[in-house]
Amino acid sequence: MRITAQLIDAIIGKHLWAERYDRPLKEIFTVQDEITFKILESLHIKITGDDLTRSCARGTDNIDAYLKVLQARENIYRQNIEGNAMARKLSEEAIALAPNYSTAYCTIAFTHMLDVFYGGSKSPKKSIEKAFLLTKKSLSLESSCVLPYVTLSLGYLLTRQHAKAIAACEEAIHLDPNDAFAYSMLSLVLTYSGKPEEAIEAIEKGLRLNPKPPAYAFLYQGFAYYHRGMYEEALSALKKAVNLSPNAIDIRLRVASCYSSLGREDEARAEVAAILKLNPRLSLGYLAKMYPYKNKADLDRVINSLRKAGLK
């Protein structure tokens, strides 16, 4: 990312620090990146490989809107209902500051879809409808950006349009072959589509591209391993995800499934008890309707494992 004049003004105007950058002119872009990282660190924003170099800066030169979207992404990475709600609030504030900010619309769309995954939506159908409208708005403002296509892929997945979901991820990768997030989402879609071998290949490429992967990357890796029958490998990946995001419901559900499938029933039940503290309303009936598996046998494996772990 290259900082704008407005970002430089923010550095000077907000007096975030006082340092000298005496470097040769040929190192100016390196210095700019160092300064940008220092700004974000001073605001307690954690950066992963796809945060700074991908979609967040597209569509605006408003520094405050941009920082709100970065903070929104950080909250999304918490992978729980509370973080999701905060991400939506911050993105809405970003739109108030920059009404044509494509990435902000896309981020709100993503939160509506995640509400369905986390069990936080009162009407999954309405949440998905809102998400599609916001994604279309984002695409109308910026059609060459990866994030709207990745978000569109999640929408197609939730509506069981698996081929379209895969195609949307492939379009995102076509736009940027080095986008770790796109490969991660492709892995998720492929696993739900009954293609765990291809999913493992996709997520491993995503992990190579992102030196600081967030929790969802390890979740998707564990998810793919699980449906390949590699339960120990799945559990190892999922534990990394839990360490990064301990209150993420979907991660804990997958951990419970792993423990159950490995015959470690006490640990599986402990996971379910922790999940129900995070969302007491969560039920097998909801998950059976929400999980967008293409193949019923894959869904049945997960539901049966969670039933064995004590979820009702």
Q: What is the CATH number of domain 45-308?
A: 1.25.40.10
Quote the radius of gyration of the chain (alpha carbons, Å): 20
pLDDT at 22: 52
Percent of the chain with pLDDT over 90: 65
Mean residue pLDDT of the chain comes to 85
170 has pLDDT over 90: yes
Lowest mean pLDDT among 61-70, 81-90, 96-105, 249-258: 61-70
Q: Look up the pTM and report it.
A: 0.82
Q: Are 146 and 179 in contact (CB under 8 A)?
A: yes
Average pLDDT, stretch 247-267?
96
16 has pLDDT over 50: no
Q: What is the pLDDT confidence band of residue 11, given thresholds at 50, 70 and 90?
A: very low
Average pLDDT, stretch 213-239?
97
CATH 1.25.40.10 in the chain, residue ranges: 45-308
pLDDT at 117: 81
Greater confidence (117 vs 281) lies with: 281
227 has pLDDT over 90: yes
Query: 220 to each of 38, 60, 185, 207, 216, how far by Cα in Å?
Result: 30, 31, 8, 11, 6
